[in-house]
Structure 1
């Protein structure tokens, strides 16, 4: 039996768990999904369930490749982005290796590194892999394309692989993306969950050179993308351009929400995506509890090492207004 397994990481989006315990209706600001998703004309077809999915996912990968101008051999898919994070780490890291992760950022990078038998460090000098989330979760920091290209050049010079998580960039500024860059030292991760508001589907995808993708595909469990997820994803990518409208509406609401938070005297990290990191004048768990009693679920950022911060998603205008009203009632 393997000893000293790391503890499971905390995440937002636990609204279903609360609902099953008869906590009533909740506004979920803890999950960062698109409040204005494209309308996808898709109906599940039960007949696809009688066969195994094509584990090579050739049609799906060709659709993704055409969407982003990449060859299908440069595409991998998985049961959510977390599966691909773990598959990548098992493919690229081993005992004695180190991975550079600079907190606060998405906790699953550390989990995947540790499960692969490697170590985490904030020093990139001897790391085999460097992780960058752009825009970063939870801070919302957005690096420009030139900045990320410079980082890629530096990691390549050190013979390090850059793992670039762009799960939120489609709701931020895709002009800063490196999704079109094929480089032997680069892996780019994306997620359908956030952009199309389908966390129940569980679908992530990534890009790399054919050699890197082959390593990841070898480690990935067979048939992890189920037939319904594959069918929805193919239809969603046909409407990929509709996300531009989502970004415009999110940007307006993000500005409105940021202004109202500032009026409440709260300090926020400069937001760039569909969520905002907020410093609060009390322990985060206290405010989280007060908001919960008013039917508002926000992300307690203690698990990010930020005991006096919460993260809130940018939702629709009416929902954002309700959040501000609840904060006004809950703050000292």
Structure 2
């Protein structure tokens, strides 16, 4: 790899690889998924596997349009939210345009922008695209809808775009979403992966100005949403209201974890979603290794520029108790 070519972003969710490498069934707190996802029956007809998907995804987009009160031509879909980040950047940020992503945040914004040929801006007030992860990964901060709309208006002043990534917002407070406000200066990204705990089914969707959406849909690879992902998404969208129960459970378990973590003398960044950023006051690498030896995977936040921090997911109460038992043994 050339010295000036960007390196891949480090992600959590390494449980599958660790199980394959070690043969151990580890608890993966490095992947932030809904610990209490809605339960429902869904299926993919065998006949649908024998034909190509509808590359314009009429039925899927009509379902999304009905739920979110948007026009179908304002909706794009893709093979996970990261595909849409890559395609968006390819469409919007070529020819050395500028982008801004406040740190620490999801590393795919920077990587996708750089792959498209963009360069960092010094401020969101001048950037062609400002990336805003809401809730933010890894901190768990949640901006209000009014604050996000203010950022969108700031972007509009210089004909920029606010890219609002709401991949986790259904597990925080969907009332703060700007999904119904997307327009010429606002693109909103969503995902089903986190809310329904299905990282193996890659499905992301977004909302924006029809002209931008048309360019994204033309640029995205054909048939990138496969038949299984489409079938699951159509079923899942009927259960968005069931996530209210998930949010209540996450809030209760997050309080439990924060209390136990602070009892160990560690600091938690205030979170409003299903993960917690923990300041370990020391290099997090050895701690992550110690926890892995005890069957627990957590997210080393060095790649976020936070070498003394870890991010832990909020899982079931029994699993959270196991995390705390292992963490207590490692830090005392």
What range is the shorter-chain TM-score in?
A: over 0.9
| DSSP 3-state at the match of 2:180 | coil
**Structure 2 counterpart of 1:222:** 222
Instruction: Tell me, yes or no, if structure 1 residue 301 matches structure 2 residue 301.
Output: yes
- Distance in structure 1 (CA, Å) of the matches to 2:171 and 2:300: 22
**Structure 2 counterpart of 1:45:** 45
Q: What is the TM-score normalised by the length of structure 1?
A: 0.97
- Displacement of 1:3 in angstroms is 7.6
Instruction: Tell me, yes or no, if structure 1 residue 167 matches structure 2 residue 172.
Output: no
- Distance in structure 1 (CA, Å) of the matches to 2:2 and 2:321: 49
- Displacement of 1:45 in angstroms is 2.7
| DSSP 3-state at the match of 2:187 | strand
Instruction: Tell me, yes or no, if structure 1 residue 142 matches structure 2 residue 145.
Output: no
Would the aligned equivalents of 2:125 and 2:155 in 1 still touch at CA under 8 Å? no
**Structure 1 counterpart of 2:273:** 273
- Displacement of 1:2 in angstroms is 8.2
| DSSP 3-state at the match of 1:238 | helix
- Displacement of 1:123 in angstroms is 1.7
- Distance in structure 2 (CA, Å) of the matches to 1:154 and 1:223: 36
- Distance in structure 2 (CA, Å) of the matches to 1:7 and 1:316: 34
How is 1:171-320 mapped onto 2 (pairs within 5 angstroms)?
Answer: 171-320=171-320
- Distance in structure 2 (CA, Å) of the matches to 1:55 and 1:325: 49
Would the aligned equivalents of 2:182 and 2:188 in 1 still touch at CA under 8 Å? no
**Structure 1 counterpart of 2:111:** 111
Would the aligned equivalents of 1:102 and 1:122 in 2 still touch at CA under 8 Å? no
- Displacement of 1:310 in angstroms is 0.2
- Distance in structure 1 (CA, Å) of the matches to 2:230 and 2:168: 21
- Distance in structure 1 (CA, Å) of the matches to 2:2 and 2:22: 37
- Distance in structure 1 (CA, Å) of the matches to 2:187 and 2:216: 10
- Distance in structure 2 (CA, Å) of the matches to 1:281 and 1:184: 43
For structure 1, list consecutive stretches of 5 or more residues without a partner in the other structure.
Answer: none
Instruction: Tell me, yes or no, if structure 1 residue 92 matches structure 2 residue 64.
Output: no
Q: What is the TM-score normalised by the length of structure 2?
A: 0.97
**Structure 2 counterpart of 1:35:** 35
Would the aligned equivalents of 1:101 and 1:122 in 2 still touch at CA under 8 Å? no
| DSSP 3-state at the match of 2:114 | helix
Q: 1:72 and 1:279, CA in 2 relative to 1: closer, same or farther beyond 3 A?
A: same
- Distance in structure 1 (CA, Å) of the matches to 2:89 and 2:316: 36
Would the aligned equivalents of 1:77 and 1:84 in 2 still touch at CA under 8 Å? yes
- Distance in structure 2 (CA, Å) of the matches to 1:108 and 1:32: 16
- Distance in structure 1 (CA, Å) of the matches to 2:54 and 2:40: 23
| DSSP 3-state at the match of 1:21 | helix
**Structure 1 counterpart of 2:78:** 78
| DSSP 3-state at the match of 2:21 | coil
| DSSP 3-state at the match of 1:130 | strand
Cα deviation code 1:104-162 (max 9, x no counterpart):
10000011001101112342233110000001000111101111111111111121100
Instruction: Tell me, yes or no, if structure 1 residue 132 matches structure 2 residue 132.
Output: yes
| DSSP 3-state at the match of 1:239 | helix
- Distance in structure 2 (CA, Å) of the matches to 1:124 and 1:328: 41
For structure 2, list consecutive stretches of 5 or more residues without a partner in the other structure.
Answer: none
- Displacement of 1:198 in angstroms is 0.6
Cα deviation code 1:178-219 (max 9, x no counterpart):
011132111000010000011000100100121121111111
Would the aligned equivalents of 1:81 and 1:191 in 2 still touch at CA under 8 Å? yes
